[in-house]
Amino acid sequence: MPSEKITSESESRSSREGREVTEVRERRQAPAQLDRASQREGRRLPVRSDRTPHDEAPPACLSGDPTCAPTERILEPEVRRHHRRKRKLLEFTHSSTRATMLMLAAAVAALVIENTPVLPYFAEFWRTFDIGISLGDFAPHLSLEHFINDFLMAIFFLLVGLEIKFEMTAGELKNPRKALLPILGAAGGAIVPALVYTAVNVGSGFEQGWGVPMANDIAFCLGILALLGSRIPAGLRSFLSTLTIADDIIAIMVIAVFYTANLDVAWLAGGLGLFAVLIVFNRLHIYDLLPYLVVGLGMWACFLMSGVHATIAGVLLALAIPARSQVKLDRAPSWFAARARRADDRYDPGEPDIVQKEYLSEVAEIGRVSRLSIPPITRLDHRLHIPVYFFILPLFAFSNASVVLTGMDPLSIVTNPVTIGVFCGLLFGKPLGIFLATWLTVKLKLSDLPQGVNWGHIGGVSVLGGVGFTMAIFVTNLAFVDPNMIAMAKAAILAASLIAGIAGFFILRAVTDEEDEEPIR
């Protein structure tokens, strides 16, 4: 009967699988290693006499033990110490709180230096030190300040673009209903402060600064939220992350549309043409990062010469980089298992490492496929994180947060419409816009609050949205030409961001403390 045949084949297959599992277990539990040639003849090698206690595999890692990781079990004893130091450095540099503190320290250092006789020509240094190349008649030169603001910040915008693409591909922006709440919150948080600034500055001659209080600072917001630790609901972290990403998208659009001067159509067409080339790369499934980075550099140069702010090139480059893996990940585990068995079969414990040609070849292939398994945007994000948050942003803060207050009348600073518009826009307009837009979205049943999040949390995050350090200073440099107006706008940004950050932190802390004190029913 067919059913009997199927049953017998199934039983035969099960018995074969059982024998294979038993053989694997016996090999793993063998007290001594077998030479591959001797294994075929059934002979067992003697136990090596030169083994030391350090050669034994370390015990299983305890949960939460930062000095123990599964990878360290296969490392040479003298290498483990270096590996742990490197891992601690990575843990240190992947802390949003530490990155925030470093940026804040850079800003404070710039303020101190600029307003003391230590370096009276501090600001002049950034504007007069040139960086450039010469290719015949083509000799573009940038001051150090423009190099930081136009090139290094383009790398920061590249990282922002990668975060935007991640959210659009796999994050909250992929789900329209979930994404609607933070997107509309970000829209409200951009419109209301712009209206507040405009209302204060009507007829002042400085109406062009309306874009300054629109943008918040993703690094500072997430860094302050990280200070509260596990008491913050996961849904609130997701809400704030998506809101800041949406806020960045709005800021990028505002910069591209409203803060572009002396537009050169030919250079702009060249930049858009190179962006089309990047899209073709994506459609052709080119996963190597180098072609994208080379064409992206050319696109940056075209945008720089066109008059459109060059940092937009970083965002467009990020949107073109593939987000998929080159490897069919559902097939990867079985491939890695088979390849690991082949590598195990080719290892000869009696030979030096450098002559294990076949074994090393198998391991190299495993490593190659492992790298191919990681999507390009993930690889680039990992490479950019440390230089952006621990070098570029602190350098930007150090070069742009300087405000010359000496010699200026304090009353004229406080009563200046630019100062009032920026300060009130960030500290009052931004929180009001975020909260009202979020409240209306929920009341109109367009979306729901994230799980575990209440209106107290939304209020705290809305106030936290008034932290506008990096992006606001960036837009300030584009909106104003007069150094005095730039200084007043920066002073207002720093004051409003400081108050908003402290107030948002304590509001969220008070809300979470109240929840902890509620009796269990």
pLDDT for the residue 137: 61
Label each residue of 89-158 as H, E or C: HHHHHCCHHHHHHHHHHHHHHHHHHHCCCCCCCHHHHHHHCEEECCECCECCEEEHHHHHHHHHHHHHHH
Coil vs helix vs strand at 325: coil
Tokens of 285: 């499934």
What is the rounded radius of gyration, in angstroms, for the C-alpha atoms of the chain? 29
What's the whole-model pTM score? 0.71
Cβ(67)–Cβ(84) below 8 Å: yes
Contact indicator for 295, 272 with CB cutoff of 8 Å? no
pLDDT of 119 higher than 90? no
**419 or 148: whose pLDDT is higher?**
419
The angle subtended at Cα 501 by Cα 497 and Cα 504, nearest 5°, is 135
Q: Would the pLDDT of 317 be above 90? A: yes
Is residue 142 within 8 A of residue 131, CB to CB? The reply is: yes
Rounded to whole angstroms, how far apart are CA atoms 149 and 421?
24
Residue 41 pLDDT: 37
Q: What is the pLDDT of residue 171?
A: 76
Shortest CA distance to 491 belongs to which of 393, 431, 421? 421
Q: Is the pLDDT of residue 33 over 50?
A: no
- Comparison of pLDDT for 91 and 411, the residue scoring more: 411
User: Per-residue pLDDT tens for 332-389?
Assistant: 889 999 989 998 888 888 888 888 888 899 899 998 998 889 999 999 998 998 888 8
Q: Is the pLDDT of residue 101 over 50?
A: yes
Name the pLDDT band for 117 (thresholds 50, 70, 90): low
Q: Residue 187 in contact with residue 430, Cβ under 8 Å?
A: no
User: What pLDDT, on a 0 to 100 scale, did the predictor assign at position 407?
Assistant: 62
pLDDT band for position 226 (50/70/90)?
Answer: confident
Q: Residues 6 or more apart from 10 whose CB is under 8 A from it?
A: none
**pLDDT value at position 415?**
87
Residue of 414, 410, 426 whose CA lies nearest to 473: 426
- C-alpha span between 169 and 483 (Å, rounded): 42
| Pairwise pLDDT comparison (54 vs 314), residue with the higher score | 314
